[in-house]
Amino acid sequence: MMMAVSATEAMHERALLEAAANGDDAAFEQIVEAYRGELHAHCYRMLGSLHDADDALQETLLRAWRGLGRFGRRSSLRTWLYSIATNVCLDAIAKRRKRVLPADHGPPSTRGADAEPPLVESVWIEPYPDETVDLGEGLAAPEARYEQREALELAFIVALQHLPATQRAVLILREVLGFSAIEVSELLETSVGAVNSALQRARKALDGRLPEQSQQATLRLLGDHELRRLVQRYVDAWASGDVHAVAALLAEDAIFSMPPSPSWWRGRETIAGFVGAAKEACPEVRGVPVQLNGQPAIAYYALDADTGVYSAHALDVLTLRGSLVAEITAFIAPALFPRLGLPATVAP
């Protein structure tokens, strides 16, 4: 949970603000550093893309730097920064298509069908390195409804992208970050009534899209030991090409997708049928357990026969239902590895 700012910290912040307003860029960097991680996560929730979140954060800090002289301290610095970040994201949403996963883009592919080529325009949600931004556990504030990590889970991010932009902003600000209705109305320059109305509609839409149990609740029930065991079984089953072992890990109605391809498949036997093809396409891979979007994931590195080095290949983010895998989202995105805090290559 976010802690209250002490009087000493507030005085220090005011001194830094004055220095920054007088052109001290080092003072400005020191001020915003404490908020950088949470602002980046906010932009990701709004936009569903790691790259878009990077751009939005940079634009937010640029606008804040240019507007420091107009910051009248009628609100806290944090609230002011969130106001800028939210408006930057709303501007970005107005200019592009919403981000989705393949299951929201079209019908499932038939069993045995090859993956379709990527779309010319990227419309896909991207994974997020929640461990690297130190968001902490639990709620951001007592008034929040969703846990910080829960609000980064793939299902939550997907559901957010289906909300109209203003509803999306209101729900995140109220239910994830714990701002009051009055604060949000001032932040978005609208009425409290409009905020409450948008929140009511957003809640209804979101509840209809989210699973009954969050991944955070599922992982707590499963326990660390059993989770490590399940992930290792998953890695071993795919590495050995064991169709039956893969099938035993999957829910009957499991979903498998491979962004940026728009193709996706449903069903335990259908997905297990990919084991042979995966083994043939990448006979030598290394799977490294990681965590993305608050969920278990595996970073896959494929052997380059010419160099003998394993290079970044894919990121499998697992969505669990109990002790079974309900969804595998295999992001074929080698370029994302360094941005996610993962090495681009690993030695044999």
- Condensed to tens digits (0 to 9), the pLDDT of residues 134-148 reads 666 788 888 899 999
Backbone phi, then psi, for 310, in 5-degree steps?
Answer: -90, 120
Over the chain, what is the mean pLDDT? 91
DSSP type of residue 340: G
d(CA 94, CA 81): 20
Length of the chain: 348
Question: Could you tell me what percent of the chain has a pLDDT over 90?
Answer: 72
Burial class of residue 318 in the structure, from the number of CB atoms within 10 Å of its CB (0-12 exposed, 13-18 middle, 19+ buried) = buried
List pLDDT tens digits, range 253-297: 999 999 999 999 999 999 999 988 887 777 789 999 999 999 999
Give 12-52 pLDDT, tens digit per residue.
Answer: 777 877 787 778 888 888 889 989 999 999 999 999 999 99
pLDDT-based confidence at 190, cuts 50/70/90? very high
CA angle, residues 95, 34, 290, in degrees to nearest 5: 75
Gap between the Cα atoms of 206 and 41, Å rounded: 19
Contact between 39 and 82 under an 8 Å Cβ cutoff? The reply is yes
Q: Quick one: tokens of 19?
A: 């220095």
Would residue 45 be called left, alpha or beta, if left means φ above 0 and alpha means ψ between -120 and 50 degrees? Answer: alpha
Query: Confidence band (pLDDT; 50, 70, 90) for 5?
Result: low
Distance of alpha carbon 317 from alpha carbon 154, whole angstroms? 9
Q: How many CB atoms lie within 10 A of CB 128?
A: 26
Residues in contact with 163: Cβ distance below 8 Å, sequence separation at least 6, in sequence order: 171, 202, 205, 206
Facing residues of 18 across strands?
A: none
Give the domains, in start order, of the chain with CATH numbers: 7-207 (1.10.1740.10), 222-346 (3.10.450.50)
